[in-house]
Amino acid sequence: MVKNTIATLACVLLLMISSSAQAIQQYLTSEQFLAEVYSNEPSKPQALWLNKETAKQVEKILGHAPNQMRQRYWKIGNSSAWILEEIGKEEPITAGFVVADGKIAQARILTYRESRGWEVRYPAFLKQFQGVQLQADDYLNQHIDGISGATLSVNAMVRMARLALYFDKLSRAE
């Protein structure tokens, strides 16, 4: 019985190995995200430039230097949309955030590349970010409940949420 099980498992494995596979999942393109957010009228992107001082603050939020000194974003009225990338465990997660009146209005996963922790794309998890604001110390004012087995992806999402709120604050100060 055990030998049969092993043989079946080996066959399944061989079949899976022979079919080329990829762990990368794109759930939403940037265009689709923006079209959803701005009901098919994405505004022209604007650019936020970091300086020495703000780059230092970004480094504090992310725990590493910013990926770029010029961050593109989209703006309509009081809301701004940000597409950010941050490494979960080994691979970058691409996420989109909409900030309205200094609060997160929407958080979405655009592309997920890790082999574990994909639960961060569940609406129940992402809904927690709605209404979250930045405290004076640049931490979120609400606790985000984690997902066991996806801690690093959850942490990456929290860092990106903090960054989106911080960028929004800078863009409004400009």
Residues that bind another protein (CB under 8 A): 2, 5-6, 9-10, 12-13, 16-17, 19-25, 45, 47, 68, 70, 72, 90, 115, 118-119, 122, 124-125, 128, 137, 139, 143-150, 155
Q: How far is the CB of 107 from another protein (least distance, A)?
A: 12
Q: How far is the CB of 147 from another protein (least distance, A)?
A: 6
Q: What are phi and psi of 150, to 5 degrees?
A: -130, 25
Judged by beta carbon, residue 150 or residue 163, the one nearer another protein is: 150
Residue count (the chain):
174
From CA 70, how far away is CA 84, in angstroms rounded?
Answer: 12
Tell me the CB-side half-sphere exposure of residue 154, using CA atoms within 13 A. Answer: 14
From CA 120, how far away is CA 50, in angstroms rounded?
Answer: 29
Q: How far is the CB of 41 from another protein (least distance, A)?
A: 19
